[in-house]
Amino acid sequence: MKELTPVEKLFEGADLYGDRGEEPALVTEPLQYAMRPCVRVKTSAKHEVVCETDHCFRLPEGGYVAASESLHSSIRTTEGLAEVISARRAGLKRVVMIHAEPIDRPYETNGILS
């Protein structure tokens, strides 16, 4: 089982894991921080994450949905699919901006594939 690293502890050159069986993405730049409008998203599978409003979650058939528009969407998680049951404003929060390659490789955010 892979050991999960808090996003704040990632560094340039670190592996960013996502979907099972896929190679990890590589963090290509030092982490950057910013104050951004955020939402608190909860799923039917008990996943919860606070993220930027435009943070994207992976959809079952491919493509993505923005966190702020994800309510009632079925999204991919590390365990399968889950429905977003809540997506509420969380105000301005300090977020971590990650630059990774390849850019289209999903990564895990509290069990949700982003």
CATH of the domain at 62: 2.170.16.10
In this predicted structure, what is the pLDDT of residue 20? 66
Question: Cα separation of 36 and 39, whole Å?
Answer: 10
The answer as to whether 88 is a domain residue is yes
The answer as to whether 89 is a domain residue is yes
pTM, 2 dp: 0.86
Q: Which of 7-16, 48-57, 78-87 shows the lowest per-residue confidence on average (mean pLDDT)?
A: 7-16
* Tally of structural domains, the chain: 1
Is 50 exceeded by the pLDDT of residue 1?
A: no
In 3D space, the residue among 107, 98, 100 whose CA is nearest the CA of residue 31 turns out to be 98
Residue for token pair 């390659």: 101
In a 13 Å sphere around the CA of 101, the CA atoms on its Cβ side amount to 4
The answer as to whether 81 is a domain residue is yes
The answer as to whether 12 is a domain residue is yes
The answer as to whether 55 is a domain residue is yes
Whole-angstrom CA distances from 82 to 2, 45, 75 are: 22, 6, 6
The residues facing 35 across adjacent strands are 94
The answer as to whether 87 is a domain residue is yes
In this predicted structure, what is the pLDDT of residue 18? 73
Residue 100 and residue 28 in contact, taking contact as beta carbons nearer than 8 Å: yes
37: containing domain: 7-113
The answer as to whether 1 is a domain residue is no
The answer as to whether 2 is a domain residue is no
